């Protein structure tokens, strides 16, 4: 979707034309589900993505005209995911069990190994939420350190040290789940 069309749809939404929200759902729902899947697990990804879209429509008046939609939606989605995880942390085992189940989505065309992706989902599910958020924003959404610093409200230098800690934990879990995966990945990319 080009920027001009997107802004036109957003303007229409601000005027209360709910149907103008549909092209935005069509354009970004897949991306939102992917991000939600990495944050809360595939099983609940669509629910959380839908929550984020509903919340975004409800707050559409606060979206600054001219700004792209997806980064704004992404901020809402990340906050929804935080609430979602917090609300289910009362029974943490359930969260992790849910996140580790394969879910009900079908992975479409991908240039990566689906088994590796499944392993990484399971590994991420074992990482504390704050670290998972940091890793997902970096590796899935491609945030820069400056963006992470702003989004997480921490100094840029702290981003690097927290990434180190988060990656150490992820590495330990990956090696526990499948000690060969990092080496295999290395050989494949060599």
Partner 1 sequence: MTADQLGPAGTAPTCADARVLLMGFIDGELSADEARRIEDHLAVCPACRGELATYQQLGLAAGSLAKEEPVVNTGLAWERIYDRIARGAGWLLLWVGMTLMAGWGLWVLGAEFLVDPEVPVVMRLGVGTFTLGSLLLLINFLRERIYRRKTERYDEVVR
Site of interaction with partner 1 (CB under 8 A) = 18, 21-22, 25-26, 29-30, 33-34, 37-38, 42-47, 49-51, 53-54, 57-58, 80, 83-84, 87-88, 98, 105-113, 116-117, 119-121, 124, 135-136, 138-142, 144-145, 157, 160-161, 163-164, 167, 170-171, 174, 181-183, 185-186, 189
CB of 100 to partner 1, least distance (A): 15
The smaller minimum CB distance to partner 1, of residues 23 and 66, is found at 23
CB of 141 to partner 1, least distance (A): 8
Q: Which residues contact 62 (CB under 8 A, 6 or more apart)?
A: none
CB of 8 to partner 1, least distance (A): 18
The smaller minimum CB distance to partner 1, of residues 65 and 110, is found at 110
DSSP per position, 132-167:
HHHHHHHHTS---HHHHHHHHT--HHHHHHHHHHHH
In eight-state DSSP terms, residue 126 is: T
CA distance linking residue 75 with residue 87, whole number of Å: 18
C-alpha distances in Å from residue 106, one per residue of 103, 112, 127: 9, 14, 24
């Amino acid at each position: 979707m080009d920027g001009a069309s997107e802004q036109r749809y957003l303007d229409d939404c601000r005027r209360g034309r709910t149907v103008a929200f549909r092209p935005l759902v069509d354009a970004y729902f897949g991306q939102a589900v992917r991000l939600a899947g990495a944050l809360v697990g595939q099983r609940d990804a669509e629910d959380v993505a839908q929550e984020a879209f509903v919340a975004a429509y409800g707050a559409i008046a606060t979206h600054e005209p001219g700004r792209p939609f997806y980064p704004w939606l992404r901020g809402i989605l990340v906050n929804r995911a935080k609430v979602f995880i917090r609300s289910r942390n009362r029974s943490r085992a359930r969260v992790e069990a849910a996140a580790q189940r394969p879910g009900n989505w079908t992975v479409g065309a991908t240039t990566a190994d689906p088994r590796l992706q499944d392993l990484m989902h399971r590994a991420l599910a074992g990482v504390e939420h704050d670290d998972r958020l940091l890793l997902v924003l970096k590796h899935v959404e491609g945030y820069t350190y400056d963006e992470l610093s702003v989004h997480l409200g921490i100094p840029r230098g702290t981003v690097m040290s927290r990434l180190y800690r988060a990656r150490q934990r992820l590495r330990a879990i990956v090696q526990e789940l499948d000690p060969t995966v990092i080496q295999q990945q290395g050989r494949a990319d060599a």
